[in-house]
Amino acid sequence: MIRLYSKIMHGLERLGLFWVFSVDVFKWTFRRPRRFQLLTAQIEHMGVASVPIIVLSSFAIGMIMSLQLINVLGLFRSEPLAGAAVGITMARELAPVITALMLIAKNGSAITAEIGSMRISEQIDAMETMSVHPIQYLVVPRVWAAVIVFPILTALANVIGIAGSYAVSVWYKSVDRASYLFELYRMVNPKDVYSGIIKAAVLGLIVGLISSFYGYYVKGGSKAVGDAATSSVVAASVSILIADFIMTDILLKVMFG
């Protein structure tokens, strides 16, 4: 009972610390000096370097979804609807969530490990001794790079996912090309795409904050950095799924209600 109580208290303390950390990130975003070169460097590192994995994963998901859907839609002789189904699902849900999960694994753990290593080797302390606030220098560019990069990569995932679906449906399963494209353009609404982009930006914010938080407050040695990287991936993954549920509920009412 006492162990449970202290676990709950520890969890609440961490949550409080995360809240304070997030508020600090927002405060330091607007304070001078503004370091746009750091932001662009992070956008390149997070975004450009992630294009291959996003292309690969979204193409694969588009292909697999089409295979499964054509199997089911075939029972109702509605195979041409596969494109529309993939388009809506990718735009509203899969593109933002899969992109976020891929980038948590690729970039989130790297952010935690990098900042965590800097913490244990006193590089963050060194920055503070030079009156450079480490949250402003290290965390702010990474968080806002994630907010910018996630929607862009989500948009790319949308396009590539549909390309994968087209390849399987039209080339492999011989679905009529004109019918496929007609249903795709008829049923996929710009609102589907916008809702996915909005989700992606919020998920980027969550992933950027959580990954940086776990690295920033590492205590101990290299094992602690490894543990923090693992914990940040788990925490970020669970958080984005919870956030996705909440946002889906809100967006369905606001945009599609």
Partner 1 sequence: MQNTDTIIEIEELSKSFGTFGVLDDINISFQSKQITAILGKSGSGKSVLMKNIIGILEPDRGKIKIDGTNIVPLPEKQRREYRRKIGYLFQDSALFDSMTVEENIAFPLVEVLHMRDQRAIRKVVQEKLDWVQLSGIENKYPDELSGGMRKRVALARSLAGEPEVLLFDEPTTGLDPVLEESINSLIQRVNHELGMTCIIITHDIVGSFQLAHKIAFLDEGKIQVEGTPENVADVAHPVLQKFLENSFIAAHRTMDNMELL
The contact set with partner 1 (CB under 8 A) reads: 33, 114, 117-118, 121-123, 125-126, 128-132, 137
Q: Which is nearer to partner 1, 117 or 239 (CB)?
A: 117
Distance in angstroms (rounded) separating the CA atoms of residues 19 and 206: 12
- Cα–Cα distances in Å, from 216 out to 5, 32, 76? 26, 21, 54
In degrees, rounded to 5, the angle at the alpha carbon of residue 134 between the alpha carbons of residues 138 and 148 is 30
Q: Which is nearer to partner 1, 123 or 189 (CB)?
A: 123
Q: Which is nearer to partner 1, 126 or 241 (CB)?
A: 126
DSSP string across 49-81: GGHHHHHHHHHHHHHHHHHHHHHHHGGGT-TTH
CB of 168 to partner 1, least distance (A): 42
Closest to 119 in 3D by CA, of 8, 216, 188: 216
Q: Strands (DSSP E) along the chain, which ranges?
A: none
CB of 133 to partner 1, least distance (A): 8
Closest to 18 in 3D by CA, of 173, 182, 184, 212: 212
CB of 123 to partner 1, least distance (A): 5
Q: Which is nearer to partner 1, 118 or 184 (CB)?
A: 118
CB of 55 to partner 1, least distance (A): 27
Q: Which is nearer to partner 1, 123 or 231 (CB)?
A: 123
CB of 57 to partner 1, least distance (A): 28
Distance in angstroms (rounded) separating the CA atoms of residues 112 and 211: 5
